[in-house]
Chains A and B, each alone.
Chain A
Amino acid sequence: MSRPILKLTNVNKSFGPIDVLHDICLEVHAGKVLCLLGDNGAGKSTLIKTLAGVHKPTSGTIEMDGQPVEFTGPRDAASRGIATVHQFGGTFPLMTIGRSFFVGVEPTIGWGPFKIYDRKRANAVAVKAVRDFGITRIDDGDRLVGGLSGGERQSLAIARAVHFGAKVLILDEPTAALGVKQATHVLRIVNEAKKRGLAVVFITHQVMHAMAVGDQFAVLIRGAVAADFAKGERTREEITDLMAGGETMADLEAQIDAAAV
């Protein structure tokens, strides 16, 4: 297997006396999707915040392209190509698609103090970037972001991260609030990002969505990696059981049935 673009070795994180992450070892490869599964409170968000430079690990190392790195903050991580897309994050409902896409890095024409925002170019680039990801319903960069569906907004945010040179894409529950069809949209985009050679970390608790795009899976339970396996090594039921903390769903169903009788 190729060298991982991002590698975590024995990463621990504690807030004061509370240990949140225990000896996390993970590898993220270019062109692969790593699905991070876990129930609420399993430490998923702490882990992605550590990856995104928000938290510093208490101990353990993070390597990028084989070099050990220490992120000074989210900006540092972002400049090294780690992009985190939160639900609807990075898009502004009352701004146009073009303006929202280029917030902070507006393209300009003109010179000196009379540089003006290049609306045409911004719109063209933004629309093309999104359409390249297969969202063909977006054709006018002057439309407001708030007029897009949830899936389209998520796609816009992902397209934006990719356009600005992300190498590692961290998607925080991108499908959680979406309907079935919208979620399919986003999953297709995750696939497209993977095809373009990006490393994707896909956080979810929907096993179906994970199995649709994932190459590698890690299940987090109480801050530790409880299972780490490749595509096809486990069935859906096994993964769901793992996420529930080892209690099998079948047992639970039996209990409910017993109670109903």
Chain B
Amino acid sequence: MNNLSIGGLLRRPEAGAFLGLAAVLAFFVVFGSSKFLEPAGAASWLNVAANLGIIAIPVGLLMIAGELDISVGAMIPAGSMTVAILTGHYDLPTWVGILAAVGVGLTIGLINGILVVRTAVPSLIVTLGTLFAVQGLVLGLSVLITGTTSVAITADPISKFLFGQFLGNTFQVIIVWWVLLAAAYIFVIHFSPYGNWIFALGGDKVSARNAGIPTQRLTISLFVVSSVSASFVGMCQAILFNSAQVSAGMTYIFNSIIAVVVGGVLLTGGFGSVVGIFLGTITFAVVNQGIYFTAFDRNWSSLIIGVMLLLAVLMNNTFRQIALTYSPKKK
């Protein structure tokens, strides 16, 4: 896409994510072993990355558009409980449960989007509200319907094959979904004309609207995509592990934001890339899992992630300055 000079690479949003990943890989190879690059080791962080990555990309797109979605934390258990209750508890066909899980994502996404667009309340607050509301709803309904907070599920073979099998005994099939979805996102965001709209929306909402971009519909669509993605991941996890818990998913809120920011997306919107988010997700997963391959206690991994996040933000600011070469005051 760009001229292949070093300067050109440094000006791209994913420059920081790329260097960060290289540094993290080097760190764990030096202090641990290269075992975590071999298939068995790679599976441990690829599985983490895939589950997180499917959610991180739409969360990142929302951030590029100037919005934040933290309700994904509740949408994961919502997706897995929906499919588990319908398929496991009521013995309905698996596809009914899958469609219902997607439908739940769609509904909550619409609610998020419409509330943000109509009320102009910051999306952090709106999605904080839906985060707790959905969490409570899932817990309440689960106990009411099944009398427990953990439901077993036996998916039919086709669903199991598509969403919940282990490839080569260790790789979750969701990795394939992640790579395919990432490719689709890259096409839409960086090659199709619609991607431009998202960057414009995050850059200057009023100008974007004046330029004829349907800003409200675009915002709502992005919220729907992130909610459906989280619900999808929850659904896959339920089918993979043959059970669903009410409580899973809260860690995804911060983890997705970390992956996105490490990936070079500007918190205030208007700048970022799908490749960057992809690399940021891998970086996060490598730090999260790589610690097991070293002699360090795994409690240190949070410290590394925290420091890495701060470094990433500082580094990305520098790279953005390089990209701008000179920055007039931001409006």
Contacts and interface: CB of A to CB of B under 8 A. Distances in A.
Interface of A: 74-75, 78, 88-95, 99-100, 102-106, 108, 115-117, 119, 142, 144, 146-147, 149-150, 153
Nearest to A106: B193
A117 B2 CA distance: 14
Interface of B: 1-2, 11, 187, 191-193, 195-197, 199-200, 203-204, 206-208, 210-213, 266, 270-271, 320, 323-328, 330-331
A16 B271 CA distance: 42
Contacts, number: 91
A94 B200 contact: no
Contact of A104 (B2, B211, B266, B270): B211
B191 A147 contact: no
A147 B324 contact: yes
Contacts of A78: 210
A115 B324 contact: no
A88 B207 CA distance: 10
B193 A92 contact: no
Contacts of A104: 197, 200, 208, 211-213
Given A90-B211, A94-B270, A108-B193, A146 B324 contact: yes
Given A94-B266, A117-B192, A103 B324 contact: no
Contact of B270 (A90, A92, A149): A92
A103 B208 CA distance: 7
Contacts of B324: 93-94, 144, 146-147
Contacts of B330: 93, 146
Contacts of A150: 328
B197 A94 contact: no
B183 to A, nearest CB: 13
A10 B204 CA distance: 35
A74 B208 CA distance: 13
Contacts of B11: 144
A147 B326 contact: yes
Given A99-B196, A106-B196, A144-B324, A117 B212 contact: no
A100 B197 CA distance: 10
Contacts of B211: 90, 103-105
A93 B328 contact: yes
